Amino acid sequence: MKLAKRVSTLTASTTLEITAKAKELKDAGHDVIGLGAGEPDFNTPAHILEAAKKAMDEGFTKYTPSGGLPALKKAIINKLETDQRLTYKPSEVIVCIGAKHALYTLFQVILDEGDEVIIPTPYWVSYPEQVKLAEGVPVYVEGKEENQFKITADQLKNVISSKTKALILNSPSNPTGMIYTKEELQELGKICLEHNIIIVSDEIYEKLLYDGNQHISIAQLSPELKAQTIIINGVSKSHSMTGWRIGYAVGNAEIISAMTNLASHSTSNPTSIAQYATIAAYQGSQGDVEVMRQAFEERLTIIFEKLNAIPGFHCIKPQGAFYLFPNASEAAKLAGYNDVDSLVKALLEEEKVALVPGSGFGADNYVRLSYATSLEQLEKAVERIARFMEKATAKL
Ligand code: PMP
Ligand code: GLU
């Protein structure tokens, strides 16, 4: 079958693929430990489930406005006001089918063929593919490990061209867990304003910060930056609601209106029941969000030390999200593999530990481990990785 050109180089999302593979092995009876999925392992909090059940019982099972229920937009606006002291109008908010779909729709409405989008590496797997699907061109800038995987203002300046349309910022970052400081955001923002570059600020890990770090959105830094920024967020990570598929974009009303028109022809609306559940997520107690954050921080503290103690794995301590992103190039060499991809493959085959190779994030020497799983499983996984390394090095 001859498929469209636009999908000719499109492959499945590495993160979802690894997750599916780990599940498949588990279903076939293998004792697999999946550290691939970027998905909280907690149940969606009970009061959110109750709100969904109530919505069903009350018959809220019909189409909603394409951009989302007015009450949900209001809840999102209140959240941004409370958390970020940012004020938006309903016309500046669209509710989408997860943050992923918010990003996809955004690129569809802001990019023309050949428009460039600056993507710092390591990046979340879907950014380049989504840009390409909108006929845009990803322009990569390397966030160096010695700068905590963050790009600098000078690096940004160097890649700007007359075609630059947008910059993607993801703080806290998937896969590195790093966060940009206020000063760094200010410097990057200044350049974006000078060159009229749209800032796509993916803040999906906003609630998962450790060591007392606080979230700062680049949109908070000045009214000009707020006008230049589209914030992307959602409840997948903060409220453990990955399967409900609710995310949103906020910012420039013209962009949001075009996104809403596109959604009206592509999806009609996000699931009505999930929207009611999200209203409850934002309006109810945020206690569960903090309980989950604390659990992630506890796991991070323990597992970070243990992983770094394995010969060949070098990891800098993440400040947010729920991933470790060690440099494993020395580990690959020590174990007799040419690259980290082969090491990851062997780890799954021999020790049944599923990790995501850094190549999926544009950083070949690294590997991503999600610690969104129980401490018991995490400790077992690290023991298996250590055993694998011992066996492999003994063989050489
Ligand atoms: N952005 C980042 C950085 C992510 O890791 C993810 C993965 N969940 C998303 C966006 C999309 O999240 P969702 O579609 O589940 O809201
Ligand atoms: N964002 C998560 C991850 O990076 C979920 C999978 C996906 O959406 O790609 O693992």
User: How do the domains of the chain map onto residue ranges?
Assistant: 5-43+287-395, 46-283
The DSSP bridge pattern shows strands 33-34 and 247-250 to be unpaired
Residues in the chain: 396
Matching fold, domains 5-43+287-395 and 46-283:
no
Say if pTM beats, i.e. exceeds, 0.95.
yes
Q: From first to last of its 396 residues, what are the pLDDT tens digits of the chain?
A: 899 999 988 988 888 888 888 888 989 999 999 999 889 999 999 999 999 999 999 999 999 999 999 999 999 999 999 999 999 999 999 999 999 999 999 999 999 999 999 999 999 999 999 999 999 999 999 999 999 999 999 999 999 999 999 999 999 999 999 999 999 999 999 999 999 999 999 999 999 999 999 999 999 999 999 999 999 999 999 999 999 999 999 999 999 999 999 999 999 999 999 999 999 999 999 999 999 999 999 999 999 999 999 999 999 999 999 999 999 999 999 999 999 999 999 999 999 999 999 999 999 999 999 999 999 999 999 999 999 999 999 887
Atom number in ligand 1 closest to CA 242: 15
Among residues 373, 275, 391, the alpha carbon closest in space to that of 41 is found at 373
Q: Measured in angstroms, how far is the CA atom of residue 99 from the centroid of ligand 1?
A: 5
Write out residues with Cβ below 6 Å of ligand 1: 38, 98-100, 124, 170, 174, 202, 204, 234, 236, 242, 247
Is residue 373 in contact with ligand 2, taking CB distance under 6 Å? no
SS3 content of the chain, % helix, strand, coil (to 5): 50, 15, 35
The DSSP bridge pattern shows strands 164-170 and 116-121 to be parallel
Atom number in ligand 1 closest to CA 321: 5
What pLDDT shows up at residue 379? 96
Half-sphere exposure of 103 toward its Cβ, with a 13 Å CA cutoff?
28
Helix (H) / strand (E) containing 10 = none
Is residue 38 in contact with ligand 2, taking CB distance under 6 Å? yes
**Helix (H, G, I), strand (E, B), or coil: what is residue 268?**
coil
What pLDDT shows up at residue 106? 98
Cα–Cα distances (Å) from 85 to 80, 81, 122, 222, 341, in that order, read 6, 4, 30, 12, 43
Domain 5-43+287-395 has CATH 3.30.565.10: no
Cα–Cα distances (Å) from 53 to 156, 276, 277, in that order, read 48, 9, 9
What pLDDT shows up at residue 124? 97
Is residue 15 in contact with ligand 2, taking CB distance under 6 Å? yes
Q: Are 232 and 99 in contact (CB under 8 A)?
A: yes
**Helix (H, G, I), strand (E, B), or coil: what is residue 42?**
coil
Among residues 48, 74, 60, 43, the alpha carbon closest in space to that of 277 is found at 48
Q: Are 67 and 260 in contact (CB under 8 A)?
A: yes
Q: Whose CA is nearest to atom 9 of ligand 2?
A: 15
Q: Measured in angstroms, how far is the CA atom of residue 106 from the centroid of ligand 1?
A: 14
What pLDDT shows up at residue 22? 87
- The class that CATH gives domain 46-283 is alpha beta
Q: Whose CA is nearest to atom 4 of ligand 2?
A: 38
Is residue 99 in contact with ligand 2, taking CB distance under 6 Å? no
> How far is residue 194's CA from residue 81's CA, in Å, rounded to a whole number?
27
What pLDDT shows up at residue 20? 85
Q: Whose CA is nearest to atom 2 of ligand 2?
A: 38
